[in-house]
Amino acid sequence: MERLWAPWRAAYVTQEGPRPDCIFCAKLQDNRDEENLLLLRYPHTFALMNLYPYNNGHLLLAPNRHVGDICELTPEESAELMALSQELVKVIRRVMNPDGFNIGINLGKVAGAGIPEHFHIHLVPRWEGDTSFMTVFGEVRVIPEDLKATYAKLKKALEEAGRA
């Protein structure tokens, strides 16, 4: 039997009452950014940590407006998502020193979108050799750093840059 330690999931799976229709909208409307791992707010977009990351530093970038398709984005939202991507790549490079990045969009459920009703971009730092034997043989990802520790490092770097 395969067992993975993922303590940050406990709060989600034990949450009482109805879950919000859209986690992006709920986190954006809530003013507890640190608790929600919301890193950065722009006028039309925002960035938050992925609760189920592929790698440390896996971020989700989304428009503030609830839209599900790239074709529904305004020119301002599109430009701001690109600016947000660029800013966060710079910060992650400085703080985490990855060898590269995957930046991608899963448009629609059939394309792998876990939350197809709210458009978002995945920004995933990558390191040489980050696909270890665990992934190859066990189909398991190993995330070596706690989400809150990664959040704290990135938030501090954004504050030092005058952005948070």
The structural domains of the chain, ordered by start, are 21-160 (3.30.428.10)
Residue pair 158/40 in contact by the 8 Å Cβ criterion: yes
User: Over the chain, what is the mean pLDDT?
Assistant: 86
Q: Indicate if the pLDDT at residue 8 is higher than 90.
A: no
Question: Two tokens at 100?
Answer: 């590269």
Average pLDDT over residues 54-75: 96
Supply the pTM of this predicted model. 0.81
Q: Is the pLDDT of residue 132 over 90?
A: no
Question: CB within 8 A of 139, min separation 6: which ones?
Answer: none
Identified catalytic residue from 58, 118, 120, 122: 120
Average pLDDT value for residue range 28-38: 95
Q: Which of 135, 67, 44, 59 is nearest to 98 (CA)?
A: 59
Which pLDDT score is estimated for 139? 54
3-state secondary structure of 83: helix
Mean of pLDDT values over 142-155: 86
Taking the C-alpha atoms of residue 5 and residue 122, their distance in angstroms, rounded to an integer, is 23
Distance CA 81, CA 91 (A): 15
pLDDT band at 163; cut points 50, 70, 90: confident
> How far, in Å, CA of 39 to CA of 99, rounded?
22
Give catalytic status of residue 120 as yes or no: yes
Contact residues for 16 (Cβ-Cβ < 8 A; gap 6+): none
Q: Map residue 38 onto helix, strand or coil.
A: strand
